[in-house]
Amino acid sequence: MFPQRFICHSLKGNRDQGVFMDLKRYEEIIKFAIDKEIGSFKFYTRASQVAKYSGARELFIDFSKEEEKHQKLLEEITLEKIVQLKIETVPNLKISDYMVDVDFKPDLSYGDILRVAMKMEERSLKLYTDLKETAKDEGMNKLFGFLAQQEAKHKYGIEKKYDEDILR
């Protein structure tokens, strides 16, 4: 009946509570999110290459591995899995809220690279949060909520590291 749409059913299995989502739009969103993860992976890989200290290099390598995990997660996710996800609240230290954007350059200090990373994750979080707020169906709302949660986790991890290593 709807060739470009399909139904995801809730855990309760009640067919009357299915969630319609446009399959093409879903695939476009997932591809967009994967591309953002690839961009973040490249950023953290580059940051690990220019970091002056081994601890910073290891941190950025860990962040790049985290981005790879998120890419793989997105490549394997289905609408059925998204509908079943529980979206958790992630702490927000709000450190990046008070910072200005810094352009990435190979000679940046460790703290400045963390600032670039925080602002990058903050922009991604805002994008997915804004899209969630304007989503017209439950499936899209859940998908954007999931993507926002992933970015919030990234941002929190970086802000926590910045707080521990730079602010203290």
Q: CB under 8 Å to 5, separation ≥6 — which residues?
A: 20, 21, 22, 23
> What pLDDT was estimated at residue 18?
52
The predicted model gives 52-79 an average pLDDT of: 92
What is the residue-wise DSSP string for 2-47? Answer: -TTEEEE--TT--GGG-EEEEHHHHHHHHHHHHHHHHHHHHHHHHH
pLDDT(22) > 80: no
Lowest mean pLDDT among 17-21, 122-126, 133-137, 144-148: 17-21
The pTM of the full predicted model, rounded to 2 decimals, is 0.83
pLDDT(20) > 80: no
What radius of gyration, in Å, describes the C-alpha atoms of the chain? Answer: 18
> What pLDDT was estimated at residue 83?
79
Q: Which domains does the chain have, with CATH numbers?
A: 20-167 (1.20.1260.10)
What is the tens place of the pLDDT at every residue in 102-115? 999 989 999 999 99
Which value, to the nearest 10 degrees, does the dihedral of the CA atoms of residues 146, 148, 154, 155 take?
-150
Better-scored residue on pLDDT, 14 or 62? 62
Strand partners for 6: 21
What is the tens place of the pLDDT at every residue in 25-49? 888 999 999 999 999 999 999 999 9
